Structure 1
Amino acid sequence: MHRKILVIGGTRFFGKILVQELLQRGHHVTLATRGNTVMPVDLNERLAHIQVDRGDAAAMHAAFSDSAGFDIVYDQVCYHPLDAQIACQVFLGKVGRYIMTSTIEVYADQYPQGTASAQEDLIDLQDEHISLAFPWRDAAFAEANYGYGKHQAEAYFTQNAAFPFVSVRCAHVYAAMDEFTGRFAHYAALVQQQAPFAYSAGMGKTSFISAPDLAAYLLWIGEQNFVGPINAAGRGCFSALDLYEIASGQTVPPAHLLQAQLDAHAPSNLSPFDYPHDYVVSTQRATNLGYVFADNQAQLTRMFGVL
């Protein structure tokens, strides 16, 4: 069945792949963006574009006031509760199902050492205090509090949305192309430079998912009818050292390893994804619903081969 779908964001990374897949399946897609990024595909009879700042309440109301509504909204760029508040107001009575892309980082403050993996019910958002007075519109504040901002956005939707709501708590996303964070290129650069690899004593493992696999998962979620939080992670968890060894294609010689001397008063010199203990998410809910995630090992190997 062809649907009317709104994607807020969706011009890069896994969002771009999601838009392309939705169009290939014959859905009618509207992209809502600020217009600062090149469109992922050409506009046509099944792809429309609305240029709007999703953080501007007046602009959002004006952009969607005459809309008949959407079967699904995929919100790729909801970073804090002020954005969620606007969405709850603008799309009241105008959406069949609202799917927000969240993050593994919502578990950061709740993840106790020794936890095998974070399940969705580790966090209770029903009684969460929502901090609307925080300076969420300040870019530096929002970036520094990224995980908490997503946590607060989820809480706002959970407590206030008058429509079916899903939050997709994504593991760390990787891609050979369009990986704008540079976190994985860091490992490739260390290998190319034959530089020593600094690691923490804990060497905890964490969860990952490829951009194409996340897009496929979001597509699948849109075809289901469940609500609430659900984790997203490929099979296999890896430590920072694991990633370095995948990037190098071999077991790293001890001469290239350097246990970091961590100073609480100085910036860390650790590589991205270096955790003092495991920080992984459970995908049991998705498995129980019938979804099978792809394996990470081969995809990470291919990615590092082209970085």
Structure 2
Amino acid sequence: MNTALVIGGTRFIGRHLVTDLLDNGYDVTIFNRGNHDNPFADADGVSHFEGDRTDDGALEAARDEVDPNIVIDCVAYKPREVRAATEIFADVDGYVYISSGSAYGNEVIPKRENDTELCACTDEQATDDSHDSYGPRKAEGDRAIFEAAERGVNAMSVRPCIVYGPYDYTERLDFWIDRVNERDRLVVPGDGQNVWHRAYAEDVASALRIVAEEGDPGEAYNVGDERLVTMDEMLSLIADALDTDVELVHASDRELSTADLSTDDYILYRDYPHVLDTNKLAALGWESTPLDVAMERTVEEHLESDRDGSEYDPGRENEERVLGVLDTI
């Protein structure tokens, strides 16, 4: 029986990852501080090792107790953490670091692993916790993977684009699911044709396992839905999953400004397309879930949860004002 150590593992991507590993015959140990409910507390084949991810001694103790074949690191947010992990787990069959599509420093279409430049990362950014330094920190973590591979470590990186699916505590897609479910007319920023590549969480999980098993040391692998959709198409998928109809009303920055809003006030809106090339991952045998199936599962779990994405709400009164302006045009 193969053994896997998952650093993280109880909330979103990690939760899907543990399920995928179990379905593929692994004994799994989850390493975390135990600050969140463990959905696998009573599951066969899953153990828990309590420890702080930033404590190298705790990681060493987990390594010695578990003796994992593969290690998948869901919560390495600073380059130092990746460097430490690649030293601690230097002898495993595969160490996989979750990086991000945000690690790319150039806005090109598509972004390719071996061609597109990564973000630079200053010493200050490497130890920062802010959102602005997220991409640079992830990029520097990738460089730590490359350096480890040069030392003979079987270390690899997976770069997801923006992730959605069941148990998404960020509530980014929950915002739009709730609006489609509750409203007949939606204000949609821009012309509805903007593209922000997304990755279904179960597909990210399978990608992490496949890269751990089949990936080449020192390589990075993008992961995202095989078929990209515009914002309008995303909302149509949500409506189909809810078996409802909704009118999409497009609003430019000029029209949104009548209510002191802008396109940037809407979550999952991105002016310049963000597209990742996933052919390198597909060459390892990875496949993505059909979009309608992925959205049906996402919507079903959303309806069972209490998440509504309200933290992203630009305000109903503001949107009613925009709709009023658009109705007069």
The answer to whether TM tops 0.5 is: yes
The equivalent residue for 2:211 is 221
1:99 equivalenced with 2:89 (yes/no): no
**Could you say what secondary structure the match of 1:120 adopts?**
coil
What's the TM-score, normalizing by structure 2? 0.76
The superposition leaves residues 217-274 of structure 1 with CA deviations (integer Å, 9 ceiling, x where unpaired) of 32333331423101111221123333233334588646x22212488x9975442221
Tell me if structure 2 keeps the 8 A contact 1:120–1:231.
yes
> Identical aligned pairs, as a percentage?
24
**Could you say what secondary structure the match of 1:238 adopts?**
coil
Deviates more, 1:281-290 or 1:29-38: 281-290
Distance 1:68 1:220, change over 3 A: closer
1:200 equivalenced with 2:190 (yes/no): yes
Distance 1:148 1:296, change over 3 A: farther
The equivalent residue for 2:321 is none
Distance, in Å, in 1 between the alignment partners of 2:253 and 2:183 is 19
Tell me if structure 2 keeps the 8 A contact 1:101–1:168.
yes
What's the TM-score, normalizing by structure 1? 0.81
Count of residues in correspondence between the two structures: 292
Letter in 2 for 1:260: D
Tell me if structure 1 keeps the 8 A contact 2:52–2:58.
yes
Distance, in Å, in 2 between the alignment partners of 1:87 and 1:282 is 27
TM superposition shift of 1:194? 4.2
The equivalent residue for 1:47 is 46
The equivalent residue for 2:313 is none
RMSD: 3.1
The equivalent residue for 1:120 is 113
Letter in 2 for 1:96: D
Tell me if structure 2 keeps the 8 A contact 1:169–1:230.
yes
Distance, in Å, in 1 between the alignment partners of 2:112 and 2:263 is 29
Distance, in Å, in 1 between the alignment partners of 2:120 and 2:238 is 42
The equivalent residue for 2:325 is none
The superposition leaves residues 149-205 of structure 1 with CA deviations (integer Å, 9 ceiling, x where unpaired) of 211111122124541111111122211x31211111221233323454141369431
Distance 1:220 1:182, change over 3 A: same
Distance, in Å, in 2 between the alignment partners of 1:205 and 1:230 is 20
1:289 equivalenced with 2:277 (yes/no): no
Distance, in Å, in 1 between the alignment partners of 2:293 and 2:144 is 38
Letter in 1 for 2:100: T
1:188 equivalenced with 2:181 (yes/no): no
Q: 1:111 aligns with which of 107, 113, 121?
A: 107
Unpaired stretches in structure 1, ≥5 consecutive residues: none
Tell me if structure 2 keeps the 8 A contact 1:246–1:304.
no
Unpaired stretches in structure 2, ≥5 consecutive residues: 304-329
Letter in 1 for 2:197: S
Distance 1:219 1:189, change over 3 A: same
Q: 1:258 aligns with which of 251, 260, 268?
A: 251
TM superposition shift of 1:105? 1.5
Distance 1:251 1:277, change over 3 A: farther
TM superposition shift of 1:283? 1.2
The superposition leaves residues 46-68 of structure 1 with CA deviations (integer Å, 9 ceiling, x where unpaired) of 4332211111334434x347447
Letter in 2 for 1:211: A
Q: Give the alignment of 1:68-107 within 5 angstroms.
A: 69-92=67-90, 94-107=91-104
TM superposition shift of 1:90? 2.2
Distance, in Å, in 2 between the alignment partners of 1:203 and 1:189 is 21
TM superposition shift of 1:72? 0.7
Distance, in Å, in 2 between the alignment partners of 1:38 and 1:184 is 22
**Could you say what secondary structure the match of 2:277 adopts?**
coil
Distance 1:278 1:268, change over 3 A: closer
Distance, in Å, in 1 between the alignment partners of 2:195 and 2:44 is 46
The equivalent residue for 2:18 is 19
Tell me if structure 2 keeps the 8 A contact 1:98–1:166.
yes
Distance 1:152 1:218, change over 3 A: same
The superposition leaves residues 27-49 of structure 1 with CA deviations (integer Å, 9 ceiling, x where unpaired) of 23221101111223136774332
Tell me if structure 2 keeps the 8 A contact 1:187–1:243.
no
Distance, in Å, in 1 between the alignment partners of 2:204 and 2:103 is 17
Tell me if structure 2 keeps the 8 A contact 1:203–1:239.
yes
Tell me if structure 1 keeps the 8 A contact 2:252–2:263.
no
Q: Give the alignment of 1:139-178 within 5 angstroms.
A: 139=129, 141=130, 143-161=131-149, 162=151, 163-175=153-165, 177-178=166-167
TM superposition shift of 1:290? 3.1
